[in-house]
Amino acid sequence: MMKQWILLFCGVFFLLGCQNVSDIKDEGSNQNSEQKTDNKSETQNKDQSHSEIWTNYSDYAKLDQDGFAYTMVNDPDVSSEILPLNDSARNVVLFTFDDAPYEPQSHALQMAQLMKAKDVNAIFLVNGMYLEGEHGRKIVKEIFDMGFEIGNHTTTHPNMRELSYEDQYQEIKKTNDLVEEITGQAPRWFRPPFGYFNMDTFNICNELGLQLMTWSYGYDWMEDYQDATALAQISVENDYLRNGANILMHDRVWTYGALGQMIDGLRENGYHIVDPKIIKARNNIIME
């Protein structure tokens, strides 16, 4: 009799255990289903977001002559890289130059002339401290008149994380005003010096209509690559070169010396240097 009770108890326990396993599987299926639904919804939202951008083009965000258009990843923690808004089969990179027009000796205008001759465009991100004299203002105006975009790289090149909200605002707003005064157009791109920023930087950029960007790679600030040949080689042969890369450069003599080789090398590797005017700037994501 005792043996029968034990067998009965084990049978009931086994059935209950099967039911619990079934419940767990069902719960897992529901979670997977919810996750798939969420992913699908997220994809639809992304598609809808791109569609809204596509139908609300600014004067800048136009199709190029081959019908391509791009947007920028709007989270600077992922390098501010370039994404196609339509079906793009070509690999693209973006050229960006900081610290222009650098003093005591600027090569920004010669860089712009070289790129213009090679049918290449770029963004020059300027420091307001170099625009207070007539020489710097003249350089920026000539670069702008050649068809290049002028971006904002602060006034005095500080570490933004060390500044108050008010000081950050003045650093950005002063250069914005100078660029608009010189060119007639306010900048739409902002790059924080050293890539350092915080929530205040985000909020100020959103208030002033600036897209905050960082970069994918750049070597001309490193001592080992302050040589035109070495810089050209590393710039076209490195692990960070990929479709959509945002390439950081500076207004320096060795960068000017490497620029032609970089353009030719990237093209030989199958990359098209994208015109920033066909990139749609977007509001910055604020990460809580």
More confident residue, 254 or 90: 254
What pLDDT is attached to residue 53?
A: 30
Question: If pLDDT is split at 50, 70 and 90, which confidence band does 88 have?
Answer: low
Question: By C-alpha distance, which of 100, 96, 173, 167 is closest to 131?
Answer: 100
Is 222's pLDDT higher than 70? yes
Residue 151 has a CB neighbour count (10 Å cut-off) of 25
What pLDDT is attached to residue 103?
A: 87
Percent of the chain with pLDDT over 70: 71
What value does the mean pLDDT take over residues 243-262?
97
The DSSP annotation for 208-248 comes to HT-EE---SB--TTSGGG-SHHHHHHHHHSSTT--TTEEEE
What pLDDT is attached to residue 77?
A: 64
What value does the mean pLDDT take over residues 36-58?
33
- Spell out a b/e string for 101-128, using b for 16 or more CB atoms within 10 Å of the CB, else e: bbeeebbbbebbeebeeeebbbbbbbbb
Strands (E), the chain: 70-72, 82-84, 91-100, 123-126, 149-152, 189-190, 211-212, 245-250, 271-273, 279-280
What value does the mean pLDDT take over residues 9-23?
38
Is 252's pLDDT higher than 90? yes
For the chain, give the mean pLDDT. Answer: 79
The alpha-carbon radius of gyration of the chain (Å, integer) is 26
Question: If pLDDT is split at 50, 70 and 90, which confidence band does 89 have?
Answer: low
| pLDDT tens digits for range 182-210 | 999 999 999 999 999 999 999 999 999 99
What pLDDT is attached to residue 74?
A: 65
What pLDDT is attached to residue 283?
A: 65
CATH number of 60-280: 3.20.20.370
What pLDDT is attached to residue 243?
A: 92
More confident residue, 81 or 107: 107
Provide CB contacts within 8 A for 144, sequence distance 6+.
150, 182, 183, 185
What pLDDT is attached to residue 78?
A: 64
Provide CB contacts within 8 A for 129, sequence distance 6+.
155, 156, 157
Regarding pTM above 0.95, the answer is no
Is 247's pLDDT higher than 60? yes
Is 36's pLDDT higher than 50? no
More confident residue, 261 or 20: 261
What pLDDT is attached to residue 284?
A: 67
More confident residue, 53 or 132: 132
| pLDDT tens digits for range 133-184 | 999 999 999 999 999 999 999 999 999 999 999 999 999 999 999 999 999 9
Question: If pLDDT is split at 50, 70 and 90, which confidence band does 70 have?
Answer: confident
Question: If pLDDT is split at 50, 70 and 90, which confidence band does 125 have?
Answer: very high
What pLDDT is attached to residue 285?
A: 62
More confident residue, 243 or 53: 243
